[in-house]
Structure 1
Amino acid sequence: MHDFGIPEMFFLLQGLKWTVLLTAISFVGGGIIGLAIALARVSRVAIIRRAAATYIALFQGTPLLMQLFVIYYGLALMQFSIDAWLAVSIAYTAHASAFLGDIWRGTIQSLPAGQTEASNALAIGYVSRMRDVILPQALKISLPATIGFAVQLTKGTSLAAIVGFVELARAGQIVSNLLLQPLLVYGIVGVIYFFVCWPMSIFGSAMEKKMSLGR
């Protein structure tokens, strides 16, 4: 057993790299799918709305830990070979898409009905109406909530360790087991998480205040 030093810190930073990368992939992928989910939730076609609502209910109503287990171990039982990196990317992307889709659906529906009525009166098509009128306003309003979810997603990546993915929390556990200094190691891990999430929280709060003044 030896004291915490540069090699251990470097190992934690390697874990941080995978935490940030997993968050970025999940957020971008979840944002793309989430936008489609949000548009489906406000569709005029009932079956599309119900399908999107079912998707959201499934991923919001079940624990992320269970989703990781099902994707990683469930696919393996079905004879599909999948590594931990791909499994956690799929699970977190699906998880993020459900929450972002619901956030953006709420902001789309919060816009005054006159926006759509005016667009129809000007004979603006659906694609142009969404792209140029509805979505820019909705996404701007949803920015604080979206950033808040990004913070939660970053912290939630710690659950990926359950399938053997070595992100920041798992790296901390490995170092702690090696040094037998859990208070020191997890304290450092907590500080790293804080300095990653705190700027995002500050930015989200600033955007929320700005939006309140704008309204």
Structure 2
Amino acid sequence: MRSFSSIDLLALATALQYTVLLVILSLAFGSPLALIFALLRTARAALPRWATALFLQIVQGVPLLALLMFFYFGLPVFLGIQIPALVAVTIAFTIYTAVFLGEIWRGGIEAVKQTQWEAAASLGISRWQQFRHVIAPQAMKVALPATVGFLVQLIKGTSLAAVVGFIELTRAGQLVSAATFQPLLVYSVVAAIYFAICFPLTMLSRNLEARLNGAR
């Protein structure tokens, strides 16, 4: 048993790097999938829309904790190999990110008036070019505040990775608390770190929403 010291604070700061890494990986792999989901949800053909909507509803109806448990404990059963914690949690958070960002971006696309599609089509360009050059810039303005808001939820959600032993900020807090027997102090520091990261993003989301709504 020992008291909380600068060494423990350094351990928390080191674990924070893995929290940031997990967020970056989730966005890097999840964002392209989110765009695909958003495009499928707004497709003209009914089958892709319905199939994608069904998949999104299933994933949204499953707790993130259950996804983490499945990919860390369940996936090795099907593959017959042990999956590293980083790989398992990255897969789970990638799917989580793709599903929720996909719905946010779908809302942004659908917020653009149909007349914008018609005006773009009158230029004689392909539908992808219509989306890329005309629809996407307008949809991005609508979806950007909610996207930043989701980033806050994603950062806080990474704390659930602690349940499968992935050493990010919350898991490091558990280890430091067990070593120092000062849970109130340790978790107060952990909470302060989360707040220091998330509060500026929350304010950014609100400012973007006010500014972009004013611009429209």
**TM norm. shorter chain > 0.5:** yes
Paired with 1:115 and 1:28, the residues of 2 have a C-alpha distance of: 29
What count of residue pairs does the alignment treat as equivalent?
215
1:63 corresponds in structure 2 to 63
Query: Where does structure 2 lack aligned partners over 5 or more consecutive residues?
Result: none
Query: Where does structure 1 lack aligned partners over 5 or more consecutive residues?
Result: none
Measure how far apart 1:30 and its partner are. Answer: 1.2
The farther-off stretch of 52-61 and 7-16 is 52-61
Q: Secondary structure at the match of 1:142?
A: helix
Paired with 2:141 and 2:27, the residues of 1 have a C-alpha distance of: 17
1:101 corresponds in structure 2 to 102
2:170 corresponds in structure 1 to 169
1:83 corresponds in structure 2 to 84
Contact 2:27–2:94, Cα closer than 8 Å, also in 1: yes
Measure how far apart 1:80 and its partner are. Answer: 3.2
1:209 corresponds in structure 2 to 210
Paired with 2:202 and 2:46, the residues of 1 have a C-alpha distance of: 37
2:189 corresponds in structure 1 to 188
The residue type equivalent to 1:37 in the other structure is F
Paired with 1:27 and 1:121, the residues of 2 have a C-alpha distance of: 35
Measure how far apart 1:194 and its partner are. Answer: 0.5
Measure how far apart 1:112 and its partner are. Answer: 0.8
CA shift digits 1:133-192 (9 cap, x unpaired): 111110121010000000000000000011110100010011001100000000000000
Measure how far apart 1:81 and its partner are. Answer: 2.5
2:11 corresponds in structure 1 to 11
Give the alignment of 1:120-135 within 5 angstroms: 120-135=121-136
Paired with 1:116 and 1:139, the residues of 2 have a C-alpha distance of: 15
Q: TM-score if structure 1 supplies the norm length?
A: 0.97
Measure how far apart 1:50 and its partner are. Answer: 1.5
2:140 corresponds in structure 1 to 139
The farther-off stretch of 106-115 and 43-52 is 43-52
Measure how far apart 1:204 and its partner are. Answer: 0.8
1:72 corresponds in structure 2 to 72
Paired with 1:24 and 1:197, the residues of 2 have a C-alpha distance of: 15
The farther-off stretch of 48-57 and 149-158 is 48-57
